[in-house]
Chains A and B, each alone.
Chain A
């Protein structure tokens, strides 16, 4: 029982409880009889009154009272009488609320009475004032307040003042801050006078919430409000982030390091059948199609392009859009430079999930050439085993001028930098906030101070990079942010993994945004012992203690990615890397096949290492509802029938998650040793499910 001490009752208490129980039972019995016989006499109604006052959660009695009111008011026109009946209901509700302030049934009954339109809403505001003084956090009362203010058409500005008063009275009132955020976003969206432009208003709000935060930094009431303000401040309308090919790049179409159709030629079961184009946005968008995006390329006349969202979910919104141009290398003249151009016109057609319309025209220009002579395609490349050992990774060649797309991805931050005054104002607001939080931290150690400062510095960085023409790379704040997160891990151990995840994202940003440091992770894979000399543009982020991956917008060029020996649990976002052929996730913390869901979207993936993870070790699957499955109704109930694999002798129900991830995959090599799920039965299942597979761990098949 909530808040009731645990102790054995005395014999007297037992007796008392039994007597009270018998009395209540008799009352309930009597009530049920009246209810079932539809008796609405005064005596019968009085029984229900006693019952709801004694036990306001007895919902059937509230239903009965509504029936009784309707019965009493049938064909009544005398407004005095109607009012007296309804007033009695309000009185009973008030008494019931006194015995249980949280009774859903009582509150709803009150709304039901008010909706009849015969009661004074002013009186309700007075009552609410009394109730909200007694318990300022009661969410029933707040909900009822929103109901009444809507009924009375009280303007949002006035209710905003009410939250100001409540907060001035006691800032430790999350409910009031919440209501404030709702009212304010309404006013901002409607661009009500005094709340537009929002920058001036934001400044005042920062000061208001800062006062609360600094008075008692451990009180959470203002924490989330501050984060919301920050989110309002950094909101930019530039949706487009990056692309493949990157703007200004020169692509050698015949180099396997650039396009993998050489390694996996057109016509084979897997890989691209043409020249890929990827658009990456900072938010999920819809409306990418051949009328919103134009593609002009000198090396192909293919214009009827189909843009595919990656991943496709119910909403249709996606951060990554992909298409493929038909072209033939044979028809291209060596030494000639072919120009390509992708333009996003000024169009209302592309809209983000938060409702932002794409508003800035944008062009990506690139060149394509083939080397001379065009190398011949070789047969049977897939059978060669890929080894992730260090000697196969070569540092130098990726740095050559011809492969300048790596450099291009480093320069992303200068893309599309048309200066906006509004942004400068926001940068100033954040800069001021940063100095206040530095002051706070000079006074005292506190977790919200450090966390907020880290977030402010990130926001400042994000805004500065899009608004200042001369963005100074030397002022990058990442080192300071990383230190803040390190401190937080020590200060607040229960949430260590939250800070660790944030740390990983900042760390990746630091390592991948700067050319010098990015190149330290870039390699060319070339197995010199192999006669086929297969090669890939590789990125090695192994052994970095990463618990999360990010910065995907800078990695669209990667064909081979080594993430082994980290602490990853999921690879959310990796689906954007549509050029990926080889992926090493060995020695991480993946605990289920559902955590590998993005692999379903990587159609070029042929080599996968998931050895030494925790797949099969956990009874609770934390990705169960983030993947396609019958449980989330994201695949039809006929999922078992649709497969035409020769799997009749294996039980797909047991391995449905593995089935869902690997069905239709073109893997030629899978390393899975060191996961608890692995046994002979499962290996047999995998071999059946993946007919293209040549290597399962070290065993060569077929």
Chain B
């Protein structure tokens, strides 16, 4: 035996699951920004024999993605408005629209939605200040402003916005120390730094804020495990890490990230079942397929996890009868986890799913159209 005594014979069984809202409106503890990939890459894909090989592997080894069922599920949820769940989610319907529509686009089915219905509704969520609320009549907030911009980007309709008005709204929320408030009430969080930076980049108005200070603030939230928290001193969390790494990626500042240290922390999020958790000693959850994977990709350490096992975990969370994806196998599905499941498969290069960009959380073709042209 060891020379010294154990101080810690006590290892109480902590609540492994993050304490969850009964109505699950917030989904996890995390922010809800989104991602996406480029057209050129997709075109090159078609002549790639390597991928064809992978495809055979996926189909034989594990259940396949029930893409059509998921499309049907999303279209149903969009229409459902009266049960308790839908009412509880009403205040973040604009986030929901982004999750649903991006998933449809990744599955090549964006045209199943009538944009002449979606876009006028999105625009009705906008306020005089320039910001968007989560639904008509709800207060403006950065969370929904990004979703509005992303939805318009999907339809290549950003130009219908009064771009200066929206970008001024966002820029006004930057504080002296470089941080961002979510709205006029002053809650500060690196989630809002990401949202502001991502939104302004999509609007091509990053010059409206002090980018150096914004980056400095994010770096001040870096922890000794290589991750990032919501404010200086806040614990690292995969969702928060995505926001900070994403914001640093968009501003060309990834040299501030200790890629090996953070990469080890992130790759250790993969648990035995193949799924990913959001923090040490927590249960796996499909939504972390997005937060952890996109971060690992941005710092080029995604090969440190077992991709096949993760694909299997996500596919196991599908409702193969009625469509939709849940947080863990056999739990009830929702649109949030359906989006993160499909987006995760996209990052894992699952055949038949369009590529998504890890920083902007929009399809690669949409992002390339905006930043590279064509």
Contact = CB atoms under 8 A, between A and B. Distances in A.
Given A57-B25, A228-B225, A619-B355, A172 B331 contact: no
A173 B235 CA distance: 12
A142 B235 contact: yes
A132 to B, nearest CB: 11
Interface string B11-24: 11011011111111
B7 interface: yes
A146 B232 CA distance: 10
A174 B235 contact: yes
Interface string A167-191: 1111111110011011001000000
Contacts of A21: 82-87
Interface in B133-166: 133-134, 137-139, 141
A217 B27 CA distance: 31
Given A60-B91, A174-B235, A633-B250, A102 B138 contact: no
Enumerate the 8 nearest inter-chain pairs by beta-carbon distance, A residue then B residue, closest first: A494-B306, A619-B355, A634-B252, A625-B249, A100-B21, A632-B252, A220-B280, A653-B374
A181 B206 CA distance: 34
B134 A59 contact: yes
Contacts of A108: 185, 187
Contact of A620 (B7, B299, B306, B349): B349
A620 B29 contact: no
A651 B86 CA distance: 47
Interface string B278-317: 0111100100000000000111101111100100000000
Interface string A594-635: 010000000000000000001011111111111010111110
Contacts of A216: 11
B29, B230, B330, most chain A CB atoms within 10 A: B29
B93 interface: no
A137 B283 CA distance: 13
A105 to B, nearest CB: 8
Contacts of B201: 633
Contact of A178 (B7, B25, B223, B306): B223
Contact of A57 (B26, B224, B281): B26
A168, A494, A618, A651, most chain B CB atoms within 10 A: A494
Interface string B332-374: 1110000000000011010000110111100010011001111
Given A18-B83, A620-B41, A632-B249, 19 more contacts: A18-B82, A22-B82, A57-B25, A57-B91, A63-B183, A102-B29, A136-B15, A139-B29, A139-B235, A173-B14, A175-B235, A178-B225, A215-B11, A313-B252, A498-B304, A624-B357, A631-B250, A631-B372, A656-B40
B265 interface: yes
Contacts of A436: 2
A558 interface: no
B105 interface: no
B27 A633 contact: no
A327 interface: no
Interface in A148-206: 167-175, 178-179, 181-182, 185
B64 interface: no
Interface of A: 1-7, 14, 17-18, 20-22, 24-25, 28, 32, 36, 55-60, 62-63, 66, 99-104, 108, 111-112, 135-140, 142-143, 146, 167-175, 178-179, 181-182, 185, 207-208, 211-212, 214-216, 219-221, 223-224, 227-228, 231, 284, 313-315, 317, 436, 439-440, 443, 493-495, 497-498, 501, 569-570, 595, 614, 616-626, 628, 630-634, 637, 640, 651, 653-656, 676-677
Nearest to B86: A21
17 contacts: A1-B24, A1-B326, A17-B85, A57-B25, A57-B88, A100-B26, A137-B15, A143-B233, A179-B235, A207-B4, A227-B225, A315-B256, A439-B3, A495-B270, A616-B48, A619-B349, A630-B372
Contacts of B360: 631
Nearest to A142: B235
A544 B22 CA distance: 55
Contact of B300 (A14, A135, A622, A630): A622
Contacts of A212: 8
A272 B16 CA distance: 60
A1 B334 contact: yes
Nearest to B187: A108
A55 to B, nearest CB: 6
B60 interface: no
B267 interface: yes
Contacts of B22: 99-100
Contacts of A36: 137
Given A17-B84, A619-B364, A640-B373, A228 B224 contact: yes
A25, A59, A138, A623, most chain B CB atoms within 10 A: A59
Contacts of B48: 616-617, 676
Contact of A174 (B12, B280, B359): B280
B113 interface: no
B224 A170 contact: no
B168 interface: no
Contacts of B84: 17-18, 20-21, 24
Given A17-B83, A135-B19, A634-B252, A219 B281 contact: yes
Nearest to A16: B84
Contacts of A631: 250, 357, 359-360, 367, 371-372
Given A3-B327, A676-B48, A569 B349 contact: no
B25 to A, nearest CB: 4
Nearest to A9: B83
B17 to A, nearest CB: 6
A687 to B, nearest CB: 19
A284 B255 contact: yes
B44 interface: yes
B42 to A, nearest CB: 6
B28 interface: yes
Nearest to A224: B225
Nearest to B270: A494
Nearest to A170: B12
A653 to B, nearest CB: 4
B279 A622 contact: no
A1, A3, A17, A284, most chain B CB atoms within 10 A: A1
Contacts of A4: 24, 331-332
A622 B297 contact: yes
A655 B43 CA distance: 12
A221 B265 CA distance: 11
A495 B346 CA distance: 21
B313 to A, nearest CB: 11
A653 B40 contact: yes
A142 B137 CA distance: 33
B87 A143 contact: no
Nearest to A131: B19
A656 B326 contact: no
B87 A28 contact: yes
Contact of A617 (B20, B51, B141): B51
Contacts of A172: 11-12, 14, 281
A594 to B, nearest CB: 9
A313 B255 contact: yes
B63 interface: no
B120 interface: no
Nearest to A145: B233
A624 B40 CA distance: 13
Contacts of B37: 619-620
Contacts of A56: 21
Contact of A619 (B41, B133, B298): B41
A539 to B, nearest CB: 24
B231 interface: yes
B282 to A, nearest CB: 8
A440 B133 CA distance: 56
B175 interface: no
B11 A495 contact: no
B298 A625 contact: yes
B305 A494 contact: yes
B252 A495 contact: no
